[in-house]
């Protein structure tokens, strides 16, 4: 469902769940991987990315040259919205992941993909997580939505509830689109961090539907292929309205 949450993880990771980012241990290749991916995505995101992402990336100080130091990112982010990116060693069980969101803590992978796997990596890395996710957390409206989502998801009791929350997360936080200045823009982390997914989302093979909560909750998805259906917000205020509507349904 998310880059860090697995409902059916067969066992807990052997390493501690919450870890420290050893920034000084990043190699020259790690920094080169970050720089290469940053340049590739920013070359098109100036046109296709939501201004909320672009402004957020500037707010938290993302740069081209070096892998981000989360101490610097969090110092900027906490002043803005109270969120923090928290390094983790791998996938978290769903309840623990949701509980983090409810506390404005975003579990963040801090490893860097190998140069040989620039274009595709099955598991998350710091580029997907920090470049793809964290800039949105600097926006007050999105920040409030994500915390509220975490609060609701942490209380999910049935498998149906969990499935519906997974779909809401997928079609917003991971693969969300928004209408800005008369154009469709990408903001979900899976689109922000992946050129292929973003091109598909904006291309002729993807059906882009207006965001409507019931439709999103009823829409299944697959994680192993390009998306054939995505949902477009009128504005980010729709996100908070959606979680309020979900809560009101009981």
> Distance (Å, rounded) from C-alpha 246 to C-alpha 240?
10
Short-list 111, 184, 195, 180, CA closest to 139: 180
Cross-strand pairs, 5: 92
> Distance (Å, rounded) from C-alpha 207 to C-alpha 124?
26
Short-list 119, 201, 170, CA closest to 2: 170
Instruction: Centre a 10 Å sphere on the Cβ of residue 64 and count the other Cβ atoms it contains.
Output: 12
> Distance (Å, rounded) from C-alpha 117 to C-alpha 109?
16
DSSP for residue 19: -
- The single residue listed with the structure tokens 């980010």 is 236
DSSP for residue 138: G
**Enzyme catalytic residues:** 128, 133, 174, 193
Q: Give me the phi and psi of 113, to 5 degrees please.
A: -65, 155
> Distance (Å, rounded) from C-alpha 101 to C-alpha 136?
13
Max Cα-Cα span within the chain: 51
């Amino acid at each position: 469902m998310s880059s860090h949450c697995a409902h059916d993880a067969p066992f807990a990771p052997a390493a501690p769940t919450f870890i420290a980012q050893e920034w000084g241990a990043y190699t020259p290749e790690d920094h080169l991987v970050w720089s290469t991916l940053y340049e590739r995505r920013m070359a098109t995101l100036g046109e296709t990315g939501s201004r909320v992402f672009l402004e957020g990336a500037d707010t938290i100080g993302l740069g081209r040259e070096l892998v981000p130091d989360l101490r610097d990112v969090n110092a900027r982010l906490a002043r803005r919205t109270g969120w923090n990116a928290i390094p983790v060693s791998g996938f978290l069980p769903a309840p623990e992941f949701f509980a983090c969101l409810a506390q404005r803590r975003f579990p963040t992978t801090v490893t860097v993909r190998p140069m040989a796997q620039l274009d595709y990596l099955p598991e998350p890395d710091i580029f997907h997580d920090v470049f793809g996710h964290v800039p949105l957390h600097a926006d007050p409206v999105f920040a409030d939505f994500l915390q509220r989502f975490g609060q609701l998801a942490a209380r999910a009791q049935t498998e149906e509830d969990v499935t519906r929350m997974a779909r809401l997360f997928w079609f917003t936080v991971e693969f969300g689109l928004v209408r800005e200045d008369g154009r469709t823009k990408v903001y979900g982390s899976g689109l922000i961090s992946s050129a292929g997914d973003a091109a598909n989302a904006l291309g002729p093979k993807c059906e882009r539907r207006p965001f409507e909560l019931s439709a999103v909750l009823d829409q299944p998805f697959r994680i192993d292929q390009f998306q054939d259906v995505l949902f477009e917000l009128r504005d980010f205020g729709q996100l908070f309205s959606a979680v309020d509507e979900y809560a009101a349904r009981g």
